[in-house]
Structure 1
Amino acid sequence: MVPVFGNRNRERTLMLRALMLVAALLPGAVDAAPRPATGLLAKDGPLPATIPLQIRTDAGHDFSIALSDPVTDAPVISGYLRGGEFFRLLVPPGTHQVTIAAGQPDDWQGVDTGFSDGMQAKLTLDFDIRADRRQGHQMTVAIVDGGLRVTDRRDQVICQIADWDSVQTEYTEGRRTPLRYLDQSLTTRGRFCD
């Protein structure tokens, strides 16, 4: 009698496919998106991101931050914050609806979905450029009584300072009188205002 190995391999293949199908249909079997690093997730608006938004949190939960247009709900910029880490995001100027969501790191489902079962806090903030000042916000977010709360919010202002750099160069050609050339360039630097 000749052993038949083909049937045994076929049975194993069918069994493996059935187990994969059952695992895919079970709740919680959906693969979570990889946990992003703290920082920018996506920028959808056309304006340059130059105004600061700084958020402080405690460890234990991760947070997603999404800014959108308060009228059209069009996304502007979004970021991800691992709980307890430093988070600073430069955002475009304008009035934005800021949505902060908190959840467990394992519950992250991606940029479009966010956390599968998270808490949210929403507020509308103005991010302005006024003369030589970029007016942003600094806030502390915490989970209080089972809900997500902004426990502290302050203005964060960066002053733009213009500096003229002058370089004086002398050129001599043969025995002629030296020529002086003044090269000026404008540079800007920012610092936190008092």
Structure 2
Amino acid sequence: MRAMILVLLLPISAMAAPRPVTGLLTKGSNLPARIPLQVRAPGDSDHAVILQDQDGQPVISGYLRGGEVLRLLVPPGRHRLVVAAGQPEDWQGTDRLFGEDTHALDMPLTFRIEGNRRIGHSIVLTYSDGSLSITDHQNRTICQIADWDIERRVQIAPGGTVLRWLDPQLETRSRPCD
């Protein structure tokens, strides 16, 4: 009797995948990921956030546990945002997502760099009339700022001559900007 119960439970447990933490799932692009994407969602379900290229190939993906905030840095380009939602216990991995009960949203987004600005997106997901939708969509911009750190150097040459010069070091830092 025990063997029959174990055999019956085996296919169900084989389909389930461990629930990921909020964060990066996969990165399929060789481009550097430096442009921000922020996603907020209600706490009653989990979400898989996938950016695809024009051919439908995954560029980068993340997992968002309900009620948390997903922050990803993504590669530049025009990507198709695909969001799948479902119950945490229904998660079946990156290929099957939440299985048969997956609610999906499909939307194009452009991530770009203009001068010292990395322009991405911040979105808020909600459910209305039983379907997944975006209720708030704003640009999320990070400015890259260059700072010179100048150090004064002094060295005495073999003949006793004092040499003085400035040694500049260029450093960059990032901050959110409008």
- Say whether the fold is shared (TM-score over 0.5): yes
Q: Is the aligned partner of 1:74 residue 2:54? A: no
CA RMSD of aligned residues (A): 1.7
Q: Report matched runs for 1:80-119 at 5 Å.
A: 80-116=63-99, 117-119=101-103
Q: Is the aligned partner of 1:21 residue 2:4? A: no
Q: Is the aligned partner of 1:145 residue 2:129? A: yes
Taking the aligned partners of 1:139 and 1:31, their CA distance within structure 2 comes to: 31
State the 4+ residue runs in structure 1 displaced beyond 4 angstroms: 28-31
Taking the aligned partners of 1:110 and 1:160, their CA distance within structure 2 comes to: 36
Taking the aligned partners of 1:132 and 1:173, their CA distance within structure 2 comes to: 41
Q: Report matched runs for 1:158-173 at 5 Å.
A: 158-172=142-156
Q: CA deviation at 1:60?
A: 1.3
Taking the aligned partners of 2:7 and 2:21, their CA distance within structure 1 comes to: 32
Letter in 1 for 2:174: G
Taking the aligned partners of 1:124 and 1:29, their CA distance within structure 2 comes to: 35
Q: 1:120 to 1:47 in 2, by over 3 A?
A: same
Task: Identify the residue that residue 9 of structure 1 maps to in structure 2.
Answer: none
Q: CA deviation at 1:21?
A: 2.3
Q: CA deviation at 1:122?
A: 0.8
Letter in 2 for 1:142: T
Q: CA deviation at 1:65?
A: 0.3
Residue-pair matches, total: 177
SS at match of 1:48: coil
Taking the aligned partners of 1:66 and 1:16, their CA distance within structure 2 comes to: 41
Give the TM-score taking structure 1 as reference length: 0.85
Q: Is the aligned partner of 1:49 residue 2:28? A: no
Letter in 2 for 1:172: I
SS at match of 1:113: coil
Letter in 2 for 1:118: T
Unaligned runs of 5+ residues in structure 1 are: 1-14
Give the TM-score taking structure 2 as reference length: 0.92
Taking the aligned partners of 1:160 and 1:190, their CA distance within structure 2 comes to: 5
Q: Is the aligned partner of 1:188 residue 2:172? A: yes
Which segment is superposed worse, 157-166 or 167-176?
A: 167-176
Task: Identify the residue that residue 49 of structure 2 maps to in structure 1.
Answer: 65
Taking the aligned partners of 2:154 and 2:72, their CA distance within structure 1 comes to: 45
Task: Identify the residue that residue 134 of structure 1 maps to in structure 2.
Answer: 118
Percent identity over the alignment is 47
Unaligned runs of 5+ residues in structure 2 are: none
Greater radius of gyration (CA): 1
Taking the aligned partners of 2:24 and 2:8, their CA distance within structure 1 comes to: 36
